[in-house]
Chain A
Amino acid sequence: MKAASTGKDKKAKRGVTEENWNLRLYVAGQTPKSIAAFTNLKKICEEYLAGKYQIEVIDLLKNPQLAKGDQIIALPTLVRKLPEPIKKIIGDLANTERVLVGLDIRAV
């Protein structure tokens, strides 16, 4: 976890200049919903943010204490840590249009 966060910090520094996207996907185990969410996210990122994104998947079944920090209630939840401000998208990310709006990618 610690390693991941320092890595994120480094990316964050670059993110200011190079428009780096730091995304975090919270799931609880390998449920159909979480698998669908990850697949949908990967697809959207490849399409719109190729080369400038990083996805961190956090399984709350393994690290339940992490749910508190990002105020996770619903699962799956995608948190856009960078660029700021923080955005949250809940659901299996099946509706690409809404994910793009939620992540503010549309303008890019």
Chain B
Amino acid sequence: MVKKKHDAVVLEKCPTGIKGFDEITNGGLPKGRPTLICGSAGCGKTLFAMEFLLRGALDFGEPGVFMTFEETPEDLAKNFISLGFDINDMMSRGLIAMDHVYIERSEIEETGEYDLEGLFIRLGNAVDSIGGAKRVVLDTIEALFSGLSNAAIIRAELRRLFHWLKERGVTAIVTGESGDKMLTRYGLEEYVADCVILLDFRIDEQISTRRLRIIKYRGSAHGADEYPFLIDDGGLSILPITSLGLDYPVSSQRVSTGIAKLDAMFEGKGFYRGSTILISGTAGTGKTSMSATFADATCRRGERCLYFAFEESPSQIIRNMASIGMDLTPWVKKGLLRFHSARPSLYGLEMHLLTFHKVIEEFNPQVFVVDPISNLSAAGSLSEVKSILTRLIDYLKMSNITTFLTDLTRYEGSLERTSEEISSLIDTWLMLRDIELNGERNRGLYILKSRGMAHSNQIQEFLLTSQGIDLIDIYTGAGDVLTGSARAAQEAEEKASDLVRRREVERKLRAQERKRNALEANIAALRAEFDVETLEVQLMAEEEQKRQAVQAEDRLDMAQLRKGKPSNPRVLRPEKKTKG
């Protein structure tokens, strides 16, 4: 904290407003001091200086003076109108002042002693004319050397000029052409000791890249790398590789892959929102179909998806996806899905990155698809591609955008090999591969890695059907891995033997049923017989009773006949008899 405060007191910075530059210099150019910008012709010195001045006047309330020794103000105004700056309007509003210093050697004769006080007066006048300019650009002061012959005087006067600029407290940019052995042709770096920036313009394999490097920045920490930069219709943008850290927020929310069975492989929930997913596979393994399915699922949720296609045109993708039963047209019409097609070799990598940034900022998608990233390597070397992807992925993670990349791997070598450079950047890595067996080629899918979640380790057979993508468990019975028709044959065989066994069981069941029926019939017959017997026994018992009653009556009658004395014991006797 203390150090920071101290730093601020020691060296105040002057923001340039140039995209990315203030980041790599921790705030801009040294305030109140001159800065030298050197580079070869056409590297963007004038643009840098002018943008510094114009943005200063428009965004930071610091009016500025542009002293041009080469181009006329009319030409400059014309050049910058295409970048969206109306210099004439700004001049009339008193935001900037311009002075064209024109030195024609053939018109000038030198006799004796002189100084460059005229230049000072003009500069001072221009600074005062807009109420005290805070920024000054001299583009390029080297013209003095070609216009005047007495270099000793010029050098002495330049020293005085930089001193004068410092004294007035203006933040100045001086431009200079690259020299052979020195940074600038006339050694301007000798006078500007505080900050020196080198702009470079290189062409590698027909693709041009602009780079910026801070050679010197006295009293301030600064990035020492070469930073690629771009000039487009928005002016200059510098893309610092290291400006983005690893401190982005993460989401534990999950998004569906668009394939139910693939979701199931990820705990049934799909990818993490904001994570980076890579699908790699050889040609024709269905990478684009998977991308499109994911895009489709995104739009179904009502989210926006940005689809960068480096191989196919949007209409071709839409047509092809119709063949697997997916209609992307409504999403495009609703504005949920946006395609962006370009040939990777159309422009350099930096331009691609900038295009990504621009379109993402404009469209603000939740899901970003690049199909495929491997084609980018056509636009630059491997290390460049990696740095571009690192920056892109960092940026996307910061914005919590789920990134879906596809990567075309070659047939030769390990499938994992081509992508190992970027594997550390990838959170979830899916692999699509060919499985060649019994004279046919089938697609297999498996998860190579997926950070922060349990995931299936199974290889699934990947099918493109007219209803979309389907995953099927690969046949792994009997120690064999079978796919395609071999799997189908194996399954058919199993089905047939199943059927046979089922029939057998059914037959046995029916036999048993018949047996049971027979048994029950037998039981019924026996029961009937038994019933008949029981009835007979009962009838017999009744008869016997009747017979005894009749016998008793007969006995009574007999007794009456003998004595005529019916008494109780006679009654009791038969009772006892029945009891007994």
A interface residues, Cβ below 8 angstroms from B = 26, 28, 33, 36, 60-61, 64-65, 67-68, 71-77, 85-95, 98-99, 101-102
List the 4 closest pairs (A to B, CB-CB), nearest first: A102-B109, A91-B112, A94-B112, A64-B125
- Asked whether B111 lies within 8 Å of A102 as measured between CB atoms, the reply is yes
B188 at the A interface (CB under 8 A): no
Select the residue from A64, A85, A87, A101 with max chain B CB neighbours within 10 A: A64
Query: Among A64, A72, A91, which residue has its beta carbon within 8 angstroms of that of B111?
Result: A91
- Asked whether B108 lies within 8 Å of A89 as measured between CB atoms, the reply is yes
- Asked whether A74 lies within 8 Å of B148 as measured between CB atoms, the reply is yes
Query: Among B109, B122, B125, which residue has its beta carbon within 8 angstroms of that of A90?
Result: B109
Give A98 Cβ to nearest chain B Cβ, in Å. 4
Instruction: Pull 25 A–B residue pairs with CB atoms less than 8 Å apart, ordered by A.
Output: A26-B118, A28-B118, A28-B121, A60-B121, A61-B121, A64-B121, A64-B122, A64-B125, A65-B129, A67-B122, A68-B99, A72-B118, A74-B119, A77-B114, A77-B118, A86-B107, A87-B109, A88-B109, A90-B109, A90-B148, A91-B112, A92-B112, A94-B111, A94-B112, A102-B111
- Asked whether B112 lies within 8 Å of A72 as measured between CB atoms, the reply is no
Interface of B is mostly: mixed
- Asked whether A93 lies within 8 Å of B118 as measured between CB atoms, the reply is no
- Asked whether A98 lies within 8 Å of B109 as measured between CB atoms, the reply is yes
- Asked whether A91 lies within 8 Å of B117 as measured between CB atoms, the reply is no
**Which residues of chain B are near A61, meaning CB under 8 Å?**
121
Number of A-B contacts (CB under 8 A): 98
Query: Among A26, A67, A71, A89, which residue has its beta carbon within 8 angstroms of that of B109?
Result: A89
Closest to B129 in A: A65
B101 at the A interface (CB under 8 A): yes
| Measured CA separation A41–B129 after assembly (Å) | 33
Query: Among B101, B113, B114, B115, which residue has its beta carbon within 8 angstroms of that of A71?
Result: B101
- Asked whether B116 lies within 8 Å of A75 as measured between CB atoms, the reply is yes
- Other than the given A89-B111, A94-B111, 10 more pairs (CB < 8 A) read A36-B113, A60-B121, A64-B124, A71-B103, A74-B116, A90-B110, A93-B111, A98-B109, A98-B110, A99-B109
**Which residues of chain A are near B148, meaning CB under 8 Å?**
73-74, 90
Given A93-B112, A94-B112, A94-B113, is A88 in contact with B107 using a C-beta cutoff of 8 Å? yes
Query: Among A28, A68, A87, which residue has its beta carbon within 8 angstroms of that of B117?
Result: A28
Give A57 Cβ to nearest chain B Cβ, in Å. 14
- Asked whether B111 lies within 8 Å of A60 as measured between CB atoms, the reply is no
**Which residues of chain A are near B119, meaning CB under 8 Å?**
73-74
- Asked whether B109 lies within 8 Å of A75 as measured between CB atoms, the reply is no
Closest to A77 in B: B118
B102 at the A interface (CB under 8 A): yes
| Measured CA separation A92–B116 after assembly (Å) | 13
Give B127 Cβ to nearest chain A Cβ, in Å. 11
**Which residues of chain A are near B108, meaning CB under 8 Å?**
88-90
| Measured CA separation A93–B110 after assembly (Å) | 8
B95 at the A interface (CB under 8 A): no
B144 at the A interface (CB under 8 A): yes
Interface string of B274-295 (1 = CB under 8 A from A): 0000000000000000000000
| Measured CA separation A87–B102 after assembly (Å) | 14
| Measured CA separation A92–B112 after assembly (Å) | 5
**Which residues of chain B are near A33, meaning CB under 8 Å?**
113-115
Closest to B154 in A: A74
Closest to A92 in B: B112
| Measured CA separation A100–B316 after assembly (Å) | 79
| Measured CA separation A102–B110 after assembly (Å) | 8
- Asked whether B114 lies within 8 Å of A75 as measured between CB atoms, the reply is yes
- Asked whether B111 lies within 8 Å of A76 as measured between CB atoms, the reply is no
